[in-house]
Amino acid sequence: MAKSPESEHPIKAFGYAARDVSGVLSPLTFSRRATGDKDVRFKVLYCGICHSDLHFSKNEWGFTTYPITPGHEIVGVVTEVGSKVKKFKVGDKVGVGCLVGSCRSCENCAKDLENYCPQQIPTYGFLHYDGTRTYGGYSDHMVSDEHFVLRWPENLPLDSGAPLLCAGITTYSPLRHFGLDKPGLKIGVVGLGGLGHVAVKFAKAFGAEVTVFSTTPSKKQEALEGLKADHFIVSKDQEQMQSTANSLDGIIDTVSASHPIAPLVNALKTDGKLVFVGAVFEPFELTAVSLSPGRKTVAGSAIGGLKETQEMLDFAAKHGITADIELIPIDYVNTAMGRMLKSDVKYRFVIDVANSLKAP
């Protein structure tokens, strides 16, 4: 018989969890494993709220098992390390992103692409190799193999830096991988939310001229003045879209809802690349002859490997890149989820876990 969340492991833990498709989060007592030889245990200080947390809480992707404790933008301070841990000591500031495990032996893992390992273990809502469930960062503490723990740069803020662990790496990785990180390139960013606003910051830090595409005309001022983007295009305005034809080296599309992509392909120059990082499940309409004249590429990208995530954090610290956040107590989380659904946040909620999560 399956053990209960409270009795699977020896160490008591607590957090917030959704228990059914309503997605409403409420306090949950569960357990975490004892610190293994290669494990790092840390007290959670901050955790960002990602759109995936909402999708999972409501079982919108169809593979949620309840109870589920979301959270994969987790920053904390180390409280215990296993005897074989090399990279960390008690008191270190650390982060955990979307993954807490991978096979470590496949072709992807060998190339530091744990994010494409077929046996990867997401930070919450999946089974660990021992058959127990993973719980995310809306909780008092975490335990993870040190390979999946990031060193937190000295001068990177803990709260506004937390969203970099998902939103940051999700946009940084394709900019790097597809060669869209060179000064002077013209880069488009579609969607100005949690992902999009950090995509603009990374692209600007790489020296790009950045065009933001949004369906919301009222975001123009914040895009140009707040985020220092160079151009703003209302993507529903055909004339404005046509003015971008053959002008961009690359586009990072962060939108998680079905939307027309032919006008975006049209905005690419020869050899331009359109990269999707949002979770869109509906098929899109695209013709081969919109790609072949101009040798254009349409691609996808998902988070990043651990080595690249560390590189991204160090780059962000060096260039002063953080997310724009609204810091909230954990008992505000359901309200925050509702507001996030309406895009009523600039641009990421971060839970002040250590100061607001009370032991039951």
Q: How far is the CB of 166 from Zn ion (least distance, A)?
A: 3
Q: Which residues pair with 150 in a beta bridge?
A: 95
Count residues contacting Zn ion (CB under 5 A)?
A: 8
Interface region with Zn ion, contact rule CB under 5 A, candidates 104-112, 215-223, 251-259, 265-273? 104-112
Q: Which amino acid is at 2?
A: A
> Of 102 and 301, which has the nearer Cβ to Zn ion?
102
Q: How far is the CB of 77 from Zn ion (least distance, A)?
A: 22
Interface region with Zn ion, contact rule CB under 5 A, candidates 11-19, 116-124, 182-190, 274-282? 116-124
Q: How far is the CB of 122 from Zn ion (least distance, A)?
A: 10
Q: Any residues with CB less than 8 A from the CB of 339 and at least 6 apart, and which?
A: 345, 349
Contact of 149 with 86, CB cutoff 8 Å: no
Q: How far is the CB of 294 from Zn ion (least distance, A)?
A: 32
DSSP class of 260: -
Q: Which residues pair with 350 in a beta bridge?
A: 48, 327
Pick from 24, 106, 286, 302: which binds Zn ion (CB under 5 A)?
A: 106
Closest CA to 177 of 118, 246, 252: 252
Q: How far is the CB of 107 from Zn ion (least distance, A)?
A: 8
Site string for Zn ion, 34-73 (x = CB under 5 A): ----------------x-x---------------------
Q: How far is the CB of 109 from Zn ion (least distance, A)?
A: 3
Structure tokens of 72?
Answer: 């994969």
109 interacts with Zn ion by CB under 5 A: yes
3-state secondary structure of 103: coil
Q: How far is the CB of 197 from Zn ion (least distance, A)?
A: 14
> Of 106 and 286, which has the nearer Cβ to Zn ion?
106
Contact of 58 with 23, CB cutoff 8 Å: yes
117 interacts with Zn ion by CB under 5 A: yes
Q: Which residues pair with 188 in a beta bridge?
A: 211, 251
Q: How far is the CB of 327 from Zn ion (least distance, A)?
A: 18
Q: Which amino acid is at 156?
A: L
Pick from 103, 279, 280, 302: which binds Zn ion (CB under 5 A)?
A: 103
> Of 109 and 264, which has the nearer Cβ to Zn ion?
109
Interface region with Zn ion, contact rule CB under 5 A, candidates 8-16, 86-94, 110-118, 330-338? 110-118
Order of all β-strands in the sheet with 297-300: 231-234, 209-214, 186-190, 248-253, 268-276, 297-300
Q: Any residues with CB less than 8 A from the CB of 96 and at least 6 apart, and which?
A: 72, 74, 76, 123, 137, 142, 144, 148, 149, 150, 165
Quote the CA–CA distance of 323 and 37 in Å, as a whole number.
34
94 interacts with Zn ion by CB under 5 A: no
Site residues for Zn ion, 156-215, by CB under 5 A, read 166
Pick from 59, 64, 102, 115: which binds Zn ion (CB under 5 A)?
A: 102
**Backbone region of residue 162 per phi and psi (left: phi > 0; alpha: psi in -120 to 50; beta: other values):** alpha
279 interacts with Zn ion by CB under 5 A: no
Footprint on this chain of Zn ion (rule: CB under 5 A): 50, 52, 102-103, 106, 109, 117, 166
